[in-house]
Structure 1
Amino acid sequence: MPVDGAGLTLLAMLLPFAGAALAPVLTARLGHNAAWLLALVPGFAFVHFAGFLPEVADGRAVTGGYAWVPSLDLTFSWFLDGLSLTFALLITGIGTLIVLYSGGYMKGHPQQGRFFSFILMFMGSMLGVVVADSFLMLFVFWELTSITSFLLIGFDHAREASRRAALQALVVTGGGGLLLLAGLFFLWDMSGVTRLSLLVHGGDVLRESPFYAAALLLVLGGAFTKSAQFPFHFWLPNAMEAPTPVSAYLHSATMVKAGVYLLMRLNPVMGATPAWELLLPLFGGVTLMVGGLLAVRQTDLKLMLAYTTVASLGLLVMLTGFGSPYAVEAAVLYLVAHSMFKGALFMVAGLIDHESGTRDVTRLGGLRKAMPVTFAAAVLAALSMAGLPPFFGFLAKEEIYAALAGGDPRAILFTAVAVAGNALMFAVAFAVALKPFLGPEVKTPKHAHEGPALLWLGPAVLALSGLAAAVLSGLSHRYVSSPMASAVAGEAETVTIGLAPHIGVPLALSVLTIAIGVGLYLSLASVRGGVARLLELVGPGPDRGFDAFIRGLVRLSFRVTRVVQDGRLDVYVTATFILLAVVLLVPPFIYGELPAMPAWPADVGFHQLTFFVIAIIGLVAVLMAGDRLTAIVSLGIQGFAVAVIFLLFGAPDLSFTQFMVETLSVVILALVMTRLRLSPSDHRPPRQLVVDGSIAIACGLGFALLLLKTTQLSFDTALTDFFNAYSKVIAHGANVVNVIIVDFRGTDTLGEISVVMITGLAILALIRIRIAPVPPVTAAVVSPVEPAKPPSKKRAAKEGKA
């Protein structure tokens, strides 16, 4: 790929984050009109990625990036094939409309700039997920989507419901992200590669690995939590507490499809196994039915659409893992169609709420004349969602039934599930699109009227796009559907379905779906009551289970903390040194790595032995000291003796450092002890002395054995040669020790300085503590038998004057 092209791709990926930084400033100056300027950010990215359509349609992939840590094969790289390019176009294209829609929807909001910033940060994060090539990039952007969605869902943080929904989404999707991280490590270990562009052409390496099952479960954990599969579906409807632009963007067109994207991406190398074709259809089918049933129960427009989004995600997962010839093509078509019609309907729901003051479908009616453009966009989007011609949703439904229909029990079961789920979504689509607009006019909290262009432009464009994509299906399949299906299948696929009637089982199933959907729509109130009664029989769902889980986790954490963090410093220090002794002593004895006893060196001089004796005398003085100040000074004797030993054995720099450290330590500790006025001696019972002494001896023995073993190994001069060769060349320093401390280990040195600074501040705070003296007790002692008499009125008056 040309360098200039790589630079533009990198700019398209990073520009949303730059726009997020500028959004508050632009909004403060331009108000809601800043939306027109900020929409240029995703608009530029959309145009840039659309330029790759011809290249990808010809079967070529676009890769590029920059090396980050070459030794570990970690790169900031991207991979654009039919799958990732389609997602990139959906994210940037719908994102452009969402930014414009947000300008009208959030007009006058004091935090509109913050909202623009959050939505653009999310856009950049989601774009990074779908175009990332390296595993590291994928995970980082994956977690960024969870963080930014947390900020968007909890945007109205003054309301408890918003805060709860945001925390719930973060816990569920963040926990799934940790599972995905473990899964990516498995994939790295199993395949030996860290790039998706290499992994998807890895053949059967993953399927044949003994760790395939573990990797599959971990990947499914990340995908199912992100894409709201049962039983993790509950967080998505609760996320409707976010402003409607968030619902239209995150929870219909982009973020919730991240899990589906991951499954589609890994289908060529992890699919076509019994586990894959069992788990995905099973969980997907259950999610489809649960989402559809819960959708018809709702009366809030956003919740109705949210639960149908859950159902649609289940349908996509079911198709991705079904394994029939047309299943991948059906999943691709439905994913694109769903992004267009669901994004449009969510914006319609927000527009109705914005202009009428309510989202309750039972309190709406007769808005057709007041909001004609909104009504038209709603009907067009609903026709696509219902799978009626001539819309792209019709092509998707036909392909779905062509993929699922069959004579075996498995095919019959999942075909029935698909028909039932699609019929439920049919009823909800027209309930959202028709009931608020048709019938007699209902008085609403606000005088309803058509919204500004910023509000109806997005749903109108998306609804018409669903029509244009079907009418121009040849072009749609050439540049979008076929390349995407090929990427998901791992081999060349050609999507050919058009609007011409297809006489056969798929068409018959479509007619059956329409008939059932019409019946459900006409009896929606009765169906809603029946589902409500069914849920009462089932009992509490996963949403309440989540609350119970969090309460139990908090209680468990509290009890564990009470045991392991009892607040006693002596317990913490004792446990730490016991663990240190175990780590130092147990492995050498278990693995037979004890050092050989060293021979007494023959060339040790009298002056050298003298300082060893001085160190021993200092140790005895510490143990025999009558007060703590004497023990501190005696401890310094050992430090100075060791410093002299370093000097005698040819390490003057180390010796100088030891002198400085010991001097400062003795002075500082002495000053602290004199200011704190602590007890003059440290009295401990004999039993405690034995325990502490044993732990100290064990730690000392462990370090002695470790040092002896280390010195008996052959000396590796690799680091020595490296520092000698590059200290002058790279760091321009002749003193190798100084260069190591300041340059090669600069971060480590900074950390040590920070520790010393924090310790100094803590000591300063400690010595400034002043314990207030207890005032003398002057109150009269009251007899416990005879209660004190209240003062007389004259006495009380005198005390009051005083």
Structure 2
Amino acid sequence: MLIAVLSGFLLAAVAPWLTRSLKDKAGWILALLPALLFVYFLSWIPAVMHGDAVVVYYPWIPGLDINLSFLVDGLSLLFALLISGIGTFIIIYAGGYLHGEEYLPRFYAIMFSFMAAMLGVVLSDNLITLFVFWELTSITSYLLIGYHHEDKKARWCALQGLIVTVGGGLALLAGLIMLGNAAGSFELSEILGSGDVLREYPLYTAMVVLILLGTFTKSAQVPFHFWLPNAMAAPTPVSAFLHSATMVKAGVYLMARLNPGLGGTDFWLYTLGIFGAVTMFTGSFMALRSTGIKAVLAYTTVMALGTLTMLIGIGTELAITAAMTFLLAHALYKAALFMLAGALDHETGTKNILEMGGLRQLMPITFITACVAALSLAGLPPLFGFIGKELMFEATTSAPGLVLFTTVLAVASAIMIAAMAAVFVLRPFTGELKKTPKKPHEAPVSMLIGPVILASLSLIFGLMGFIPATAIVGGATASVYGAPVDVQLYLWHGINLPLILSVIAVALGAVLFLKWDQALALFDRMTFIDRFGPERGYERMMDGLVWLAEWQTRVLQNGYMRNYLITIVMTTVVVVGWTFFAYTGQSVPMGEIDFRIYEVVIVGLVVAGAVVASVTGSRLGAVATLGMVGFGIAMIYVFFSAADVGTTQIMVETLTVILLVLVLFKLPGFQNLSSTASRLRDAAVALSFGGLMTVLILAINAVEVADPISDVLVQWSVPEGYGRNIVNVILVDFRALDTLGEIFVVGLAAVGIYAMIHFRAEDKAK
């Protein structure tokens, strides 16, 4: 299992080299990995088809309860099959769609990393591991969306998607940590059985809100839906994979995964039910007012994501069955439709549906495949999408507390989606042949094999859904519902309310298709949607962020070191001081102060040196008194048995004094640049900071909440660090990474200084 999850990263490392070596065959050869993974995951179906689960465990950071553990059950297996199966066709498709492109080797490297990260998300049993893979999907999708990095719009769209999803990811991390603490474990296999404990958790609402912020941003729920259509700046293979089996489905997966533990409350029901239904309607409406072929499909994905969220929120056995059926149906037809949209774009040179027409004679295979996939999108028999839509209607008409709301929005959405399914097929392929930027012809085999097979599966699953799909859907339903479920999928359930609603939706959808041109004219006048929508809010937020950055740069980072120090010191004094006195009742536990005469003398010299250095007008005197401060502190180290630190201090002070004296006569004389008020302010800042540090040190010495760690380090010094010099052992062994980091920083600074000197010398030479 570990090899299966990480193999994508391994292949990503060599994919660019293989692509250059294999040339036109690269897509077909590289697709062998996801194909083999698909076969491997198929072998797991007998083990999980009845709702059972298998945990595969590999220790990673056991001290922090972080493991590379994988949970294989019906839900994770369904997603793994979709990711690897559809991924196989996407890799083949990309070879044809991006044929001859300069950046194709890089594309394959990022795509396989993205695929591996998504497999990690759906198979991880540990919450922290899941989050790591979760963020990797955001990063790799950012690179894929910005594939055409020379295009400013592509870069902007990629950044928008990254900011929205990573922002939600930060909230998700907090929610997952709360979830692990509430359940007493970070393993999903243990958390899912703690539903009663989680629902009674005092911070249940806050925890769910944080988790849903992560899932809603990832799965483009209202009001975060705007980033997903903009992600169409990515090449079509990315869009097809992103919308059908990966990335945007990650949020749906996590909501479904956590349903047994967090579901079953009114808050879960109404939050997911309402937001999901509104997103479903919004996606359908926005698809209706779009003319770009990829934009239409993108908004229908928003519709599907809202539908799935709504069904998970409803949470009944029927609703969960409908969700898993709809999930599988959507993945099949949406991947096919996106690849067909890419074929139309690739062969005609335009993405605008209104500029296409009469292509069925020139692209007959594409036309037939599009008809099958679009019928599944519209929810017409005998396609598998019809079964999913019927179950969805049946679930909404029995939703507890939300029957009217969910049913009305579901029917309205189905009407608009039926109309857009007709637009997708009839506008480009029927009517008179229109002149396009490129002379159209049938797409190559690499771009058609995926859509043909996936559309065929939509038909096969519809006609014989009770045979191949029941085991997959049944296992996933049992995992999400949290109990065994008897799933039976049939094409014909008799004449009932869901069927009547389907007939009404299709009929009104046909009428809407005939009036689509008039509807577009009406939509063009509805400019307030773009002016006041959530995307405009995002743009205002980003403008505000730039304004804030400019303001704080102008005020706080204005080039004066004195201002920097005052800001840092006073922030520390206010925040730390307020916290200290608020929690100690404004009293300072001083403890016993024991001192000796030589300590008083040394401290007196240090204080005197600091005062003289601050007020003297002699540069030589300032250097001497600063040296007295440093050497006095070195004496304190020596008296308290820190000989190594004292020696280091003496060396540093000696070197500092020598360097200052060497450059003393080359420096300009002291100038009085500060007013008396400024000097008094600086003195007050220094005294307040010094006073706070003194109070904190006295309090720390007076209060001992635990045994000092120094006792343990003394015990470990010889047996663990093989050294009797405790300070050296701490630096070299116990704090090795810290010391390495400091060495790295110093080395990096040295490289930077050398580079500045070197480049300046070159400039002077020129």
Q: TM (normalized to structure 2)? A: 0.92
1:208 and 2:200 correspond: yes
Cα-Cα RMSD = 2.9
Unaligned residue ranges in structure 2 (runs of 5+): 761-766
Match of 1:29 in 2: 21
CA distance in 1, matches of 2:752, 2:691: 32
1:678 and 2:673 correspond: no
* Cα distance change on mapping 1:447 and 1:80 into 2, 3 Å: same
1:624-663 equivalences under 5 Å are 625-663=616-654
* Cα distance change on mapping 1:176 and 1:496 into 2, 3 Å: same
Match of 1:133 in 2: 125
Q: Which stretch shows the higher mean deviation, 732-741 or 292-301?
A: 732-741
CA distance in 2, matches of 1:622, 1:763: 29
**Post-superposition CA distance 1:204-253 (Å, at most 9, x none):** 22222232222222222222221112222111111112111111111233
* Cα distance change on mapping 1:597 and 1:580 into 2, 3 Å: farther
Match of 2:388 in 1: 396
The residue type paired with residue 630 of structure 2 is G
* Cα distance change on mapping 1:715 and 1:611 into 2, 3 Å: farther
The residue type paired with residue 746 of structure 1 is A
Shift of residue 685, structure 1, vs aligned partner: 4.5
* Cα distance change on mapping 1:550 and 1:440 into 2, 3 Å: same
1:553-568 equivalences under 5 Å are 553-568=545-560
1:550 and 2:542 correspond: yes
**Contact 2:591–2:701 at 8 Å: present in 1 too?**
no
1:664 and 2:655 correspond: yes
* Cα distance change on mapping 1:477 and 1:667 into 2, 3 Å: same
Shift of residue 682, structure 1, vs aligned partner: 6.5
Out of 420, 444, 451, which is 1:428 matched to? 420
1:58-207 equivalences under 5 Å are 58-207=50-199
**Contact 2:50–2:478 at 8 Å: present in 1 too?**
no
The residue type paired with residue 652 of structure 2 is V
**Contact 2:73–2:475 at 8 Å: present in 1 too?**
yes
**Contact 1:584–1:703 at 8 Å: present in 2 too?**
no
CA distance in 1, matches of 2:281, 2:600: 84
Secondary structure of 1:250's counterpart equals: helix
CA distance in 2, matches of 1:193, 1:328: 26
Secondary structure of 1:206's counterpart equals: helix
Match of 1:596 in 2: 591
The residue type paired with residue 593 of structure 1 is V
Shift of residue 175, structure 1, vs aligned partner: 1.6
Shift of residue 47, structure 1, vs aligned partner: 2.0
* Cα distance change on mapping 1:704 and 1:766 into 2, 3 Å: farther
Q: Which stretch shows the higher mean deviation, 206-215 or 688-697?
A: 688-697
* Cα distance change on mapping 1:593 and 1:758 into 2, 3 Å: farther
Secondary structure of 1:76's counterpart equals: strand
**Post-superposition CA distance 1:338-393 (Å, at most 9, x none):** 00001100100101111122222222222223222212221121121122222211
1:360 and 2:355 correspond: no
**Contact 2:308–2:323 at 8 Å: present in 1 too?**
yes
Match of 1:307 in 2: 299
**Contact 1:639–1:658 at 8 Å: present in 2 too?**
yes
Shift of residue 503, structure 1, vs aligned partner: 2.6
* Cα distance change on mapping 1:82 and 1:673 into 2, 3 Å: farther
Q: Which stretch shows the higher mean deviation, 310-319 or 721-730?
A: 721-730
Shift of residue 415, structure 1, vs aligned partner: 1.8
Secondary structure of 2:410's counterpart equals: helix
Shift of residue 540, structure 1, vs aligned partner: 4.2
**Post-superposition CA distance 1:431-490 (Å, at most 9, x none):** 212332223333322222112111001101111121222333233344211111111111
Match of 1:778 in 2: none
Match of 1:238 in 2: 230
* Cα distance change on mapping 1:210 and 1:729 into 2, 3 Å: closer
Q: Which stretch shows the higher mean deviation, 59-68 or 80-89?
A: 59-68
* Cα distance change on mapping 1:769 and 1:328 into 2, 3 Å: closer
Shift of residue 296, structure 1, vs aligned partner: 2.1
Secondary structure of 2:57's counterpart equals: strand
**Contact 2:252–2:308 at 8 Å: present in 1 too?**
yes
CA distance in 2, matches of 1:248, 1:529: 29
CA distance in 2, matches of 1:408, 1:614: 79
* Cα distance change on mapping 1:613 and 1:403 into 2, 3 Å: closer
CA distance in 2, matches of 1:412, 1:364: 39
CA distance in 1, matches of 2:451, 2:758: 65
1:18 and 2:13 correspond: no
Q: Which stretch shows the higher mean deviation, 27-36 or 663-672?
A: 663-672
* Cα distance change on mapping 1:402 and 1:717 into 2, 3 Å: closer
Q: Which stretch shows the higher mean deviation, 717-726 or 223-232?
A: 717-726
CA distance in 1, matches of 2:756, 2:746: 15
Match of 2:463 in 1: 471
CA distance in 1, matches of 2:7, 2:522: 50
Match of 1:253 in 2: 245
Unaligned residue ranges in structure 1 (runs of 5+): 1-8, 771-802
CA distance in 2, matches of 1:598, 1:262: 57
* Cα distance change on mapping 1:176 and 1:579 into 2, 3 Å: closer
Match of 2:734 in 1: 744
* Cα distance change on mapping 1:566 and 1:256 into 2, 3 Å: same
Q: Which stretch shows the higher mean deviation, 454-463 or 116-125?
A: 116-125
Match of 1:793 in 2: none
Q: Which stretch shows the higher mean deviation, 459-468 or 202-211?
A: 202-211
* Cα distance change on mapping 1:426 and 1:654 into 2, 3 Å: same
CA distance in 2, matches of 1:52, 1:261: 19
**Identical-residue share of aligned pairs (%):** 43
The residue type paired with residue 636 of structure 1 is G
Match of 1:262 in 2: 254
Match of 1:784 in 2: none
Secondary structure of 1:440's counterpart equals: coil
Secondary structure of 2:67's counterpart equals: strand
Shift of residue 719, structure 1, vs aligned partner: 3.7
**Post-superposition CA distance 1:185-213 (Å, at most 9, x none):** 33233323222222211122222223222
Q: Which stretch shows the higher mean deviation, 269-278 or 239-248?
A: 269-278
**Contact 1:672–1:763 at 8 Å: present in 2 too?**
no
**Contact 1:672–1:767 at 8 Å: present in 2 too?**
no
Shift of residue 723, structure 1, vs aligned partner: 3.3
CA distance in 2, matches of 1:276, 1:584: 39
1:525 and 2:520 correspond: no
**Contact 2:268–2:313 at 8 Å: present in 1 too?**
yes
Secondary structure of 1:64's counterpart equals: strand
CA distance in 1, matches of 2:604, 2:264: 75
Out of 482, 500, 506, which is 2:498 matched to? 506
**Contact 1:628–1:681 at 8 Å: present in 2 too?**
no
1:304-453 equivalences under 5 Å are 304-406=296-398, 410-453=402-445
Secondary structure of 2:195's counterpart equals: coil
Match of 1:691 in 2: 681
Q: TM (normalized to structure 1)? A: 0.88
Out of 288, 291, 298, which is 2:280 matched to? 288
Shift of residue 631, structure 1, vs aligned partner: 1.5
* Cα distance change on mapping 1:539 and 1:591 into 2, 3 Å: closer
Secondary structure of 1:66's counterpart equals: strand
Secondary structure of 2:59's counterpart equals: strand
The residue type paired with residue 457 of structure 2 is S
**Post-superposition CA distance 1:30-81 (Å, at most 9, x none):** 2232112211222222222222111111332121233333233122222121
CA distance in 2, matches of 1:396, 1:618: 82
The residue type paired with residue 691 of structure 1 is R
CA distance in 2, matches of 1:612, 1:678: 32
* Cα distance change on mapping 1:763 and 1:112 into 2, 3 Å: closer
Match of 1:773 in 2: none
**Contact 1:294–1:531 at 8 Å: present in 2 too?**
no
Q: Count the aligned residue pairs.
A: 757
